[in-house]
Amino acid sequence: GINAEYMGTSTAFLCTSTFSHTKMSTQARIDTLKASADSYLQAKRYADIYRLCEDAELENYGFGNDSEHIYSVFIISAALIDDLVRAKFVWKRLSTDIKSRSNQLKSVFKLIELVWKKEYPSFYNASSQQFPPTIQPYIQALISHVRESTAGLIGQSYENISINNAASLLGLAGPAVVQYVQSLGWNVQETAGFIIPKPLSKQATRQETTFAHLSHLTQFITHLETA
């Protein structure tokens, strides 16, 4: 489900929607939406971003030249609340025209597909491409979210994991992966090349751990070890 934290903000936004239609130009409303989404991103209020975009879509703003940006934010925000199904439905609702001409939207949705398939190295590789400065903070938030969620799965399912395998799963290399896992309180045996994970606190990871998630992670690590 979506965080309850949004309820107050959602009510306020909906209550002002009539005012927006009568007193604000379309571009002013779009600019307000974009500024609000950016503010919510900084505060990690991802459910608020999703609801903001959803409300605007339902009110039929007509995003015009901002469609590419706003729908990129809309899709990413769904992934940030761990609702990849909704991210896919946002993509499906897009017109064939914008899907075909927007490389940015295609690249964003490709990231969602890779997260869905849990193809972590491919996800990190694809997310490293150059995105416009206005959308890059959302991409970085998605990278951090996927990394954090994956670390949560590793912490709950493995007594030890090789540094190389952890690097592939977390999208980090060399000293960076060691520094990251140490920040989680994990023990690193650098000489032996292993990491000893431990479960993260519930506050540190929001993704629900399921048998399917753990099974896929095990298969992926087995593939890395036999490759």
Q: Say yes or no to pLDDT of 49 above 80.
A: yes
Between CA 191 and CA 4 the distance in angstroms is: 46
Q: Looking up tokens 């001409």, which residue turns up?
A: 101
Strands, sheet with 161-162, edge to edge from the N-terminal-most edge strand: 161-162, 194-196, 187-189
Q: Say yes or no to pLDDT of 217 above 70.
A: no
Name the pTM for this structure.
Answer: 0.79
* Number of helices and strands in the chain (H, E): 13, 3
Residue 27's pLDDT band, with cuts at 50, 70 and 90, is confident
Number of Cα atoms under 13 Å in the Cβ half of residue 111: 29
Q: Say yes or no to pLDDT of 126 above 60.
A: yes
Between CA 73 and CA 38 the distance in angstroms is: 9
Q: What pLDDT shows up at residue 202?
A: 62
Q: What pLDDT shows up at residue 216?
A: 52
Are the C-beta atoms of 164 and 193 separated by less than 8 Å? yes
Long-range contact set of residues 188-196: C-beta below 8 Å, sequence gap at least 24: 188/163, 190/163, 193/162, 193/163, 193/164, 194/160, 194/161, 194/162, 194/163, 195/160, 195/161, 195/162, 195/163, 195/166, 196/159, 196/160
pLDDT tens, residue by residue, 76-124: 999 999 999 999 999 999 999 999 999 999 999 999 999 999 899 999 9
Q: Say yes or no to pLDDT of 148 above 80.
A: yes
Q: Say yes or no to pLDDT of 139 above 70.
A: yes
Between CA 150 and CA 120 the distance in angstroms is: 9
Mean pLDDT over 174-203 rounds to 90
Residue 55's pLDDT band, with cuts at 50, 70 and 90, is very high
Question: Which of residues 193 and 63 earns the better pLDDT score?
Answer: 193
What is the 8-class DSSP label of residue 185? T
